[in-house]
Amino acid sequence: MFEKYTCKNGLRIVSEKMPHIRSVSFGICVNVGSRYETPEENGLTHFIEHMFFKGTEKRTAKQIAEDFDRLGAQTNAFTAKDQTCYYVVALDQQIRSSIDVLADMFFHSVFDPEEMEKEKQVIFEEMAMTEDTPDDDVDERLWAAMFPNHPIGAPILGTEDTLNSFTQQQVKEFIRTHYTPDQIVLTVAGNFDESLIEYIENVFDQFDDRESRGIVTFEEPVFHAQTTTKKSQVEQAHLVIGYPGLKVNDEQIVPYLVMNNIFGDSMSSRLFQKVREEKALAYTVYSYYSAYSDVGAFMIYGGTSTKQRQLMEDTIFEVIEDFKENGITAEELVSAKSQLESSLLLGLETSYDYMMRNAKNEILYGRDLTIEETLEQLNKVTIEEVNEQIKIIFHHDFAKSIISNDV
């Protein structure tokens, strides 16, 4: 059962008890990501995520790793454009000790200058890994093309120049400004009793007198329909086409998801069947989307040989034109609803899944968006609503990102 509790210091705790399992997942989700950075800070949120694992006042980086391993716990973190999350998954009898280690990292990391310089080298390697993964790189470059001169279009990892410039003082000031109780959601799911909530509140009553300044805001991102190309010695040509999409809170977001599924998010989709099955132009081709509080994007990816890149692109637009002209069928609507329902339910098999879902709902919607409510919205979607989304999305001009050895 989902429950929400607000601590005296303003922290929100969202929880879901799952007594039939042995694990407990706990996360610290902060409502700050790379899109809230200034140009000079680009990559700082991600750098801070790394540095939380590099030593505290009483634990070295090695001791942090050893303590989690001794507890049999799995820990990690991620930085997105709109949030940062630190989490641990442990057996129920080890969750309190695991939370203690995570809280020590969160409140008492020292950000040792020597460790900072070492971790910058690690992130340089992460940047190189992204460049060596063309399907990631081509997507990153598309965002820069769609939203130039705006933080949401900037790379989450930052650049070599910005990363090299980060100082201990800059890190501490960013945390003091952004990591305030009103911008943090603590999320727990699994096999626990009510006393754990009180324990979490006590452990996280360690904030200093920092003010709750609210999340930093920027002007609403403006979509630009432009093309970016990168010449690289890759075996395949990689293409991503991007259109303006829906915001996460748009009332038509569910028909939009159905449209995406039918267009290119399944093996039976129009895109997959035409590009791969019928014309054998690509091994990997699909559509996907990203949705944030004030902007969204709908994207289409394909990878093929250099000599077939233009034919693949032409075929993608053939699928789009047919989609716009003829819309969807009743059979496709039924199939898409079944696939999306299955995806939702199968994506909630572990305590980690519930932990992240509940945190996302609290940050994005400020409430528990129940599974039943989501399925009800899905079942109500009509052909007319999906066809309307087709007209809206593909009416816009598009942006394009290409990585190939012949551009």
Q: How many CB atoms lie within 10 A of CB 128?
A: 10
Look up residue 124 and give its two tokens. Answer: 């340089």
Residue 94 has pLDDT above 80, yes or no: yes
Q: What b/e sequence results for 10-48 when a residue is b if at least 16 CB atoms lie within 10 Å of its CB, and e otherwise?
A: ebbbbbbbbeeeebbbbbbbbbbbbbbbeeebbbbbbbb
Q: What percent of the chain has pLDDT over 70?
A: 98
DSSP secondary-structure letter at 306?
Answer: G
Asked if 387 contacts 213 with a C-beta cutoff of 8 angstroms, the reply is no
Mean pLDDT in residue range 126-146: 96
Q: What percent of the chain has pLDDT over 90?
A: 93
Residue 80 has pLDDT above 70, yes or no: yes
Mean pLDDT in residue range 360-386: 94
pLDDT band at 255 (very low <50, low <70, confident <90, very high): very high
Asked if 148 contacts 224 with a C-beta cutoff of 8 angstroms, the reply is yes
Residue 216 has pLDDT above 80, yes or no: no
Would you state the pLDDT for residue 240?
98
Would you state the pLDDT for residue 212?
60
What integer best gives the mean pLDDT of the chain? 95
Give per-residue pLDDT as tens, 22-77.
999 999 999 999 999 999 999 999 999 999 999 999 999 999 999 999 999 999 99
Evaluate whether 2-203 and 227-404 have a shared fold. Answer: yes
Long-range own/partner contacts, residues 143-147 (CB < 8 A, 24 or more apart):
143/297, 144/228, 145/224, 145/226, 145/227, 145/228, 145/242, 145/399, 145/400, 145/401, 146/223, 146/224, 146/242, 146/297, 146/399, 147/221, 147/222, 147/223, 147/224, 147/295
Q: What is the pTM of this model?
A: 0.94
Would you state the pLDDT for residue 387?
98
The structural architecture, per CATH, of the domain 2-203 is 2-Layer Sandwich (3.30)
- Tell how strand 296-304 and strand 74-79 pair up: unpaired
In angstroms, the CA 49 to CA 111 distance is: 11
Q: Where are the domains of the chain?
A: 2-203, 227-404
pLDDT band at 210 (very low <50, low <70, confident <90, very high): low
pLDDT band at 220 (very low <50, low <70, confident <90, very high): confident
Give per-residue pLDDT as tens, 158-189.
999 999 999 999 999 999 999 999 999 999 99
Q: How many CB atoms lie within 10 A of CB 132?
A: 11
- Topology at the third CATH level for domain 227-404: Cytochrome Bc1 Complex; Chain A, domain 1 (3.30.830)
Instruction: Please identify every residue annotated as catalytic.
Output: 49
